[in-house]
């Protein structure tokens, strides 16, 4: 129950800022185009805010839920830097990640240095371990979701379910390191099929029919988040 409350808190802390940002951007666009407020696509704005908030919340639920996915047997597992941190450092580590993923202005040089100093405290901050940690903590948001929505766009345009080799290969990798479950992969295929058929899919508490405009906005926001994550994981020294 405590993890559910934590997840709801993460979601709301992301959702509210995105609503404000998206409405501000759309208001400026409508002002430039001399359109009225009531002509805004409120449904699209709400949908994008929900989608981005869910994407920011997923990695933290996966890392904190009691029934976490487990790495596949036989996989050469690298040292998980986070497991080597103290409770205080681990908490701060996750706070920084959350801030960078949710806040467009949340990344700066002092924060990057603090993030890296925390990783280095583990004594295991090798390039391979850092890449492993990055995939484990943020791979779903920074890379996998982009591959998913690229396939969703193709499925929408072609009218048939699509799955790229890149998404299939990255799914296998995430499955091996325990960052995703078989159930989630199968569920995503079901969602892609619904998108292709232009049927509603569950987004937050709503059932939404994704259109090209919505997917483009989500892809754009995912790119912004991915760039911030890449910068955070790049040594500032």
**Contact assessment for residue 213 and residue 44, using Cβ atoms and an 8 Å cutoff:** yes
Lowest mean pLDDT among 28-37, 40-49, 103-112, 225-234: 28-37
Domain assignment present for 145? yes
218 within some domain: yes
Q: pLDDT band at residue 164, thresholds of 50, 70 and 90? A: very high
Q: Coil, strand, or helix at residue 207?
A: strand
Average pLDDT over residues 150-159: 95
Alpha-carbon distance 134 to 121, whole Å? 17
Q: Is residue 40 part of a domain?
A: no
75 falls within a domain: yes
Confidence class for position 72, pLDDT limits 50, 70, 90: low
Give pLDDT tens digits for 3-55: 433 444 444 444 444 554 555 455 554 554 555 545 556 566 556 655 655 55
Phi–psi pair at 208, nearest 5 degrees? -120, 135
Could you list the residue range(s) of the whole structural domain that residue 220 is in? 69-232
Give helix 87-102 / helix 127-139 axis angle, nearest 10°.
60
pLDDT band for position 185 (50/70/90)?
very high
% of the chain at pLDDT higher than 70: 67
> In the structure encoding, which two tokens stand for residue 22, read together?
């998206």
Report how many domains make up the chain.
Answer: 1
Task: Look at residue 160 and tell me if it is in a domain.
Answer: yes
More confident residue, 67 or 136: 136
* Average pLDDT of the segment spanning 48-67: 52
Per-residue pLDDT, 174 = 92
In a domain, 208, yes or no: yes
Residue 216 lies in a domain: yes
Domain assignment of residue 5, yes or no = no
Name residue 216's beta-bridge partners.
none
Measured in whole angstroms, the distance separating CA 222 from the mean position of its chain's CA atoms is: 7
Confidence of residue 173 (pLDDT cuts 50, 70, 90): very high
Band of pLDDT at residue 62, cut at 50, 70 and 90:
very low
């Amino acid at each position: 129950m405590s993890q559910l409350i934590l997840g709801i808190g993460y979601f709301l802390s992301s959702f509210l800022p995105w609503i404000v940002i998206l409405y501000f951007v759309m208001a400026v666009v409508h002002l430039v185009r001399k359109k009225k407020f009531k002509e805004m696509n409120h449904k699209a704005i709400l949908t994008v805010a929900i989608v981005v908030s869910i994407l920011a919340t997923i990695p933290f639920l996966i890392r904190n839920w009691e029934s976490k996915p487990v790495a596949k047997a036989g996989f050469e597992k690298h040292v998980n830097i986070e497991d080597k941190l103290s409770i205080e450092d681990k908490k701060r580590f996750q706070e920084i990640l959350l801030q960078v993923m949710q806040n467009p202005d949340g990344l700066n040089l002092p924060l990057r240095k603090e993030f890296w100093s925390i990783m280095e405290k583990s004594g295991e901050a090798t390039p391979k371990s850092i890449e492993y940690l990055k995939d484990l903590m943020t791979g779903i948001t920074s890379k996998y979701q982009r591959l998913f929505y690229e396939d969703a766009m193709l499925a929408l345009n072609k009218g048939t379910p699509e799955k790229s080799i890149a998404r299939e290969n990255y799914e296998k990798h995430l499955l091996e390191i325990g960052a995703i479950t078989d159930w989630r992969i199968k569920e995503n295929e079901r969602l892609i099929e619904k998108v292709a058929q232009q049927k509603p899919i569950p987004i937050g508490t709503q059932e939404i029919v994704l259109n090209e405009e919505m997917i483009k906005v989500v892809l754009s926001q995912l790119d912004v988040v991915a760039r911030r994550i890449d910068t955070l994981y790049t040594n500032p020294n």
